[in-house]
A = this chain, B = another copy of it.
């Protein structure tokens, strides 16, 4: 019950999460987009509308680079910029219909892969899994 053993499990677990995330998202991203651009669009899908600064901060990239990638995404018609009325320096970014469709497609594929893993389970098992997700999310990965 030492913390060292718990740390070993933590490391092995996070490695597994990264591996499964890779497996489940592999191939879902459209070819018209680079990995960083996918990250941005994925972030937008969950958090829109956001400002350029927020994207820059949350995705750990510099403002100039964020601006550049966002410009490319806008040129590809995957997202739109809307100027804020209150503060006209700000730009609210959100997905375009095309961008939404793309992410809907992607999330659909990911969800079906998730369901494959989970469909054979009993209600009991699902409840345990839910509880475990909640516990770790609140106490370790917060």
A residues in contact (CB < 8 Å) with B: 1, 3-4, 6-7, 9-22, 46, 60, 110-111, 114-115, 117-119, 121, 123, 125-137, 139-142
Given A3-B119, A115-B7, A121-B139, CB of A14 within 8 Å of CB of B13: no
> Which one of B6, B111, B121, B142 contacts A129 once the chains associate, using CB atoms below 8 Å?
B6
Q: Closest residue of chain B to A42, judged by CB?
A: B15
Residues of B within 8 A of A121 (CB): 139
Q: Closest residue of chain B to A142, judged by CB?
A: B16
Given A21-B18, A119-B3, A123-B1, CB of A135 within 8 Å of CB of B128: yes
Q: Which of A1, A6, A9 has the most CB of B within 10 A?
A: A6
Contact call A6/B135, Cβ cutoff below 8 A: no
Contact call A141/B6, Cβ cutoff below 8 A: no
Contact call B6/A118, Cβ cutoff below 8 A: yes
